[in-house]
């Protein structure tokens, strides 16, 4: 903390920005859904990135998927990310930091929109996706090689800060490594004027995931994932936990008329 930045100036407004959607069902979304003995149900998965903003800085958390990738993968792009940023009042050139919670295609697709920003990612996440095991199809199908290369280029240009090894210098924001969905998934804890906000990203795609401790079907480690879900459930007592893909985020918080910008705090 510096002399100019008292704790009050660290209180962020937090927006969830919905840019895409996909209709699936619980049997496909959850790992081994049949073990719960429940009827299958349709499920809408929404795609978000998040904006943290105060008087001193704007931080963008994740950068969404690109139109051509959405089309190839059968996901519906509701609002291209540059337009979604405009609706949230974000000028990409004014963004100091871009946080990448993990390297899946729906989270790091538009890094090139922010050529001046410092990127922040998990050290374990970066080393995994630039390493040998990530080439196995079980992992490689969830990422776009060109997008991982863009992060690698940022590292070569000294524009990437890996946490927790190094401090990215964003007062009021704490990064938690919560592996299980991917090896170095980050949860972003944000100080606000009220309770802290925990952006779970894909440590918990859905409310039901952490509330009932039910793993999602894409897992790098189930024991780690269970630990992460239990931790998130516990944090739900003192913080506002925001899952990464739940359509109910639009019901629980105020949203604009277009259904794009959701005010979390």
| Alpha carbons within 13 A on the beta-carbon side of 1 | 9
> Which is closer to Zn ion, CB of 106 or CB of 246?
106
147 touches Zn ion (CB under 5 A): no
Near Zn ion by CB under 5 A: residue from 45, 58, 69, 106: 106
Cβ–Cβ under 8 Å, residues 59 and 100: no
User: Quick one: 53 or 245, whose CB is closer to Zn ion?
Assistant: 245
Rounding to the nearest 10 degrees, give the CA dihedral for residues 206, 211, 214, 220: 70
Residue with smaller CB distance to Zn ion, 106 or 147: 106
Query: How far, in Å, CA of 133 to CA of 183, rounded?
Result: 11
In the range 173-212, which residues lie near Zn ion by CB under 5 A? 202
Cβ nearer to Zn ion, comparing 106 with 235: 106
Instruction: Tell me the residue length of the chain.
Output: 265
CB of 75 to Zn ion, least distance (A): 10
| Rounded-to-integer distance, Cα 213 and Cα 86, Å | 36
Residues paired with 99 in a beta bridge = 61, 120
Taking the C-alpha atoms of residue 25 and residue 154, their distance in angstroms, rounded to an integer, is 37
- Of 55-63, 104-112, 168-176, 247-255, the segment contacting Zn ion by CB under 5 A is 104-112
Q: How far is the CB of 95 from Zn ion (least distance, A)?
A: 20
Q: Between residues 44 and 159, which has the closer beta carbon with respect to Zn ion?
A: 44
Q: How many residues sit close enough to Zn ion to count as binding (CB under 5 A)?
A: 2
Return residues touching Zn ion (CB under 5 A): 106, 202
């Amino acid at each position: 903390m510096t002399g100019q930045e008292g704790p009050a100036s660290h209180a962020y407004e937090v927006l969830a920005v919905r840019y895409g959607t996909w209709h699936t069902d619980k049997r496909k979304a959850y790992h081994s859904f049949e073990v719960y003995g429940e009827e299958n149900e349709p499920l809408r998965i929404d795609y978000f990135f998040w904006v943290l903003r105060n008087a001193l800085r704007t931080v963008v958390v994740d950068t969404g998927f690109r139109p051509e990738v959405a089309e190839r993968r059968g996901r519906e792009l509701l609002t291209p990310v540059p337009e979604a940023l405009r609706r949230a009042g974000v000028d990409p050139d004014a963004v100091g930091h871009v946080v990448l919670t993990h390297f899946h295609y729906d989270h790091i697709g538009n890094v090139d929109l922010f050529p001046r920003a410092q990127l922040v990612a998990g050290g374990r996440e970066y080393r995994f996706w630039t390493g040998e095991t990530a080439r196995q199809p079980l992992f490689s199908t969830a990422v776009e090689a060109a997008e991982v290369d863009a992060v690698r280029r940022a590292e070569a240009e000294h524009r990437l800060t890996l946490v927790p090894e190094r401090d990215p210098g964003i007062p009021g924001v704490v990064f938690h490594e919560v592996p299980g969905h991917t090896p170095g998934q980050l949860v972003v804890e944000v100080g606000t004027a009220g309770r802290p906000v925990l952006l779970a990203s894909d440590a918990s795609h859905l409310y039901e995931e952490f509330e009932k401790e039910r793993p999602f079907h894409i897992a790098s480690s189930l024991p780690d994932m269970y630990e992460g879900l239990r931790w998130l459930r516990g944090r739900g007592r003192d913080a506002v936990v925001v899952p990464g893909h739940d359509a109910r985020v639009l019901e629980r918080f105020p949203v604009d008329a277009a259904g794009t910008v959701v005010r979390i705090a």
